[in-house]
Amino acid sequence: MDTNLALLLLLAPFAGFLINVFFGKKLGHTVSGYLGTAAVVVSFVVTLVFFLNINQTGKAVEIKLFDWLSINNFKIEFGFLLDQLSLLWLMFVTGIGSLIHLYSISYMHDDENMHKFFAYLNLFVFFMISLVMGSNLLVMFIGWEGVGLCSYLLIGFWYKNQDYNDAAKKAFIMNRIGDLGLLIGVFIISSLFSTLNFTELHELIAGGTQSGNTVWLAAAALALFIGACGKSAQIPLYTWLPDAMAGPTPVSALIHAATMVTAGIFMVTRLHFLFDLAPSVQDIIAVVGAFTALLAATIGLVQNDIKKVLAYSTVSQLGLMFLALGMGAYEVAVFHVITHAFFKACLFLGSGSVIHALHGEQDMRKMGGLRKAMPITFITMLISSLAISGIFPLAGFWSKDEILMVSFHGNKALWVIGSVASIMTAFYMFRLMYLTFFNDFRGTDQQKHHLHESPGLITFPLIVLGTLAAVGGLISLPGNSWLNHYLAPLFSEKAHEAHHLGSTEYILMGIATVGALVGIGIAYAKYIKQKQLPESDENITGFSKVLYNKYYVDEAYEWLLVKPINALSRFFRDYTETAVSGFVFGFSKAANEISYQGKKLQNGNVGFYLFAFVLGVCAIISYVFLAK
Amino acid sequence: MHTVTLIFILLAAVSVATAFMTIFSKNPIHSAIYLVICFFSIGGHYLLLNSQFLAIVHIIVYAGAIMILFLFTVMLMNLNKEDEVHKPRLQRWAAVLFFFLLCAVMILIFIQSKPIVGPYDDLGNDYQSIKVLGQVLLDQNDGFMLPFEFASVLLLVAMIGAVLLSKKEKS
Amino acid sequence: MGNVLNQIGIENYIFLSVILFCIGVFGVLYRRNAIIVFMSIEIMLNAVNLLFVAFSTYHQDAQGQIFVFFSMAVAAAEVAVGLAIVVSIFRNLGSIDIDNLKNLKG
């Protein structure tokens, strides 16, 4: 029974993908859209069933389908592990996925390739489910690669624009670089433990028998973290995520805010027992996370494209999650993943609503005063912005404060960096809100006449997500955390006491709230009181220019990596390829030459043939009779 | 020296000399005549070896039929007055070389092998007179009856072929 | 009379036959005229026939002579057909120079 339900969970989106690929065009826009949505809703319902079940029993469900690879004592089976962590992930992946599918029915309605879009979205959900549900590293890797593929397909969805194609390639290639690290980690683990199954690894590693292998364990952990960097856009593999905004907004919401980019955090949490044994790697994770948070926040301060601001915000928040992971506080990171999924998806979908209303305009300098024309969008985005800034009592306040508290107890310097990043977050989020929704409209008159709120299929997901962003914090209140209690069986070997709300904690909460209010206040002063506008592209100077050009990191990568590799491949093409093909063709040329010379034997002259005849006879009889 | 040996040497000299003259003479008719003389000398050899029937048949077939054919063809093509162009000098010297080469190879084979040359036995009984020859040739069981019949078919086919090949085209 | 080979010796016959054969080969390679080439082939056949008969005497067996019989029959047939071919070549090309027969080139 469990196996069948699990297979239904996994394969419903895949069936949706197949139907939309083969029959989508014939089914028409509406039917293919609802079909795709229905597939994900089915998965969500099945997830709910499993979720309620595990809440009751508390026992994970491990399903083995078949033996995939079996060499000596190294066995990899193809199976699923439905424990608390994977079910939690599945809940918000399929839940938010369903909402975004619903949203896309209206958003992509005018696109001629809508059925293809839904096919790709379904395929993505299928791979994400496979990533989360896998019982061993290899099944997870299938999903890992698959979501990378779908990300490429969806970013480059409007393929007629070459810039979008380049962005898609960039995302895929950077992902692949991370995947190399992941694979190296998988290889090290498999050579150390001869198994890739999560439960078996948990027993082997947490059993404490690996104290002699700390170097290799640390190497594996580091390699796995590099894989997580690629997928979750940390330094140095983060530059693909802002460029990935070339894809349609539902894609940005689903993949690059709520689900795919959380895969790295999922993996680290899954293998927490490994990371716990490598404290040096944990330090690296924390430092990388903190610096990424700060770096991305600074870049987001001056961006003018509404989606780019949200993209850098995502990178920054992911950095905060890794900061929590680096401190060993896995439940805190998971909490922030969930709340971030809620408000970031809401923000992205809201920005999509705005872009849709303005017929494709994404530059905030041409927006303004939209709150009267689009009230629902405005209110939901406002709630989400307050949440991300960490204002009490919305969801982001609780999760972000937990992170800052944990980092304060771990490493004060990183706490400072995280706090500064949070203040900047508040600033640029409200900069976005003020520029988009307040003051007067700065676009064309024609756009002004057509301004209206988006249809129901777009606003309904916004409302749901906005509500979740508001009340989502309830799942993990300090002192009474349902989430910690729920995840406790996974972290059984760690004695985890609930956060003690002492005076330090209250002071920290206070500092964080004051910081957020300061950020909002500065934005208010700049954009409402003084009605300042960001400069047009030519007039940006000084340090703002550096920030606007993202610290020239892309250009640095171009010079350091892309150009040498291109030169290397040109070298191979010009020299090695000519040498090898010359060698291979040399054989055919030699054969040709030999036969050309040999052709001269056949000159048609019978007299000459007779000479050859006699010579041959002499040779044969001398060989037979004389060569003894 | 024995008369037989003398006769042998004489006949051999005639054979070789006329064979050479066949090749070297310019006029094809002369070549044909020399060849006839060569055939006669070979017939003489057969007589020396006591195979009378074969000698007569040899003369009849070769000198009587084949050479007549040759002469007719030569006269048909009116070749007796033609001056033939020689082969290139290189090929002619190569031909001489191959001549010596082939001779050397064959004689070497003979010298190298160990011919069981004992005393030449003389059975005394008649093994090759016409009577015996006929019996051997036409014996059905362990004679050559079947090849004999096939030879007649061969001659028939050759006749038909020769007639067909040399028919003038009707145009 | 006894075996004539007692006076002559079989190796002389072998030498004679070899020389006649080689003369025949030489003639084939030396001349351009197709008729002369044919005649050289006849010399070769005769050399072989001679050797057969010599060995028939050596072995005191009639089968050698039988083979000569058939060899002559075949030679006759071959000359007939071969000369017919030479005549048609002459009709087509106007000469019987074998160096003109180059259509098999390549």
Pick C77's closest partner by Cβ from B74, B137, B155: B155
Give the pLDDT mean for A195-200: 86
pLDDT at A126: 94
Contact A123, A17 (CB under 8 A): yes
Question: Any idea what DSSP says for residue A501?
Answer: -
Confidence of residue B63 (pLDDT cuts 50, 70, 90): very high
**Which of C82 and B1 is assigned the larger pLDDT?**
C82
- What token pair was written down for A618? 């002499």
Give the pLDDT mean for A219-245: 90
**What does the longest C-alpha to C-alpha distance in chain A come to?**
117
Give the pLDDT mean for A177-206: 88
pLDDT at A336: 92
Cβ neighbours around A386 below 10 Å, total? 25
- Answer whether A614 touches C (CB < 8 Å): yes
pLDDT at C103: 80
In 3D space, the residue among C6, C3, C9, C15 whose CA is nearest the CA of residue B51 turns out to be: C3
Give the pLDDT mean for A408-433: 90
Please tell me which chains touch C, using 3 or more CB pairs under 8 Å as the contact test.
Answer: A, B
Give the pLDDT mean for A592-596: 93
Contact A109, A129 (CB under 8 A): no
Strand locations in A519-580, DSSP E?
Answer: none
Locate the chain B residue with the closest alpha carbon to C90.
Answer: B77
Q: How far apart are CA B6 and CA A460, in angstroms?
A: 133
- Answer whether A606 touches B (CB < 8 Å): no
Q: How far apart are CA B71 and CA A498, in angstroms?
A: 130
Question: A626 and B101: CB-CB below 8 Å?
Answer: no
**Which of B73 and C103 is assigned the larger pLDDT?**
B73
Minimum distance, in Å, between the CA of residue A582 and any CA atom of chain C: 29
Residue pLDDT, tens place only, A56-87: 887 888 888 888 888 887 888 888 998 888 99
Average pLDDT, chain A: 87
Distances, alpha carbon B10 to alpha carbons A122, A166, A187, A582, B3, in Å:
110, 103, 99, 70, 10
**Percent of chain B's residues with pLDDT above 90:** 49
- Answer whether C33 touches A (CB < 8 Å): no
Distances, alpha carbon C69 to alpha carbons A555, B12, C42, C52, in Å:
100, 22, 15, 10
Return the minimum-mean-pLDDT range out of A68-72, A229-233, A294-298, B81-85. B81-85
pLDDT at B80: 60
pLDDT at A314: 93
Question: C102 and A602: CB-CB below 8 Å?
Answer: no
Pick A611's closest partner by Cβ from B98, B105, B113: B98
Give the pLDDT mean for C51-78: 91
DSSP H helices, chain C, are 5-8, 10-30, 34-59, 63-93
Instruction: Decide if pLDDT at A498 tops 60.
Output: no
Locate the chain A residue with the closest alpha carbon to C37.
Answer: A607
Question: How many whole angstroms from its chain centre is CA A556?
Answer: 23
Domains for chain B: give ranges and CATH numbers: 3-82+126-166 (1.20.120.1200)
**What does the longest C-alpha to C-alpha distance in chain C come to?**
60
Question: Is the pTM of the predicted complex or chain greater than 0.90?
Answer: no
pLDDT at B82: 63
Average pLDDT, chain B: 87
State the complex-level ipTM. Answer: 0.91
Instruction: Decide if pLDDT at A377 tops 80.
Output: yes
Q: How far apart are CA A2 and CA A587, in angstroms?
A: 62
- Answer whether A604 touches C (CB < 8 Å): yes
Each residue of A2-36: b (16+ CB within 10 Å) or e?
eeebbeebbbbbbebbebbbeebeebebeebbbbb
Residue pLDDT, tens place only, B72-124: 999 888 766 666 778 888 888 999 999 999 999 998 888 887 666 666 666 66
Contact A349, A103 (CB under 8 A): yes
Pick A602's closest partner by Cβ from C98, C101, C105: C105
**Which of B118 and A596 is assigned the larger pLDDT?**
A596
- Answer whether A601 touches C (CB < 8 Å): no
Size of interface A-B (CB pairs under 8 A): 27
pLDDT at B119: 66
Give the pLDDT mean for A405-412: 86
Q: How far apart are CA C39 and CA A82, in angstroms?
A: 101
**Which of C20 and A449 is assigned the larger pLDDT?**
C20
Confidence of residue C1 (pLDDT cuts 50, 70, 90): very low
Residue pLDDT, tens place only, A85-129: 899 999 989 999 999 999 999 898 888 888 899 999 999 999 999
Instruction: Decide if pLDDT at A213 tops 80.
Output: no
pLDDT at A554: 84
pLDDT at A594: 94
Contact B35, B14 (CB under 8 A): no
Q: How far apart are CA A342 and CA A257, in angstroms?
A: 9
- Answer whether B55 touches C (CB < 8 Å): no
**Percent of chain A's residues with pLDDT above 70:** 97
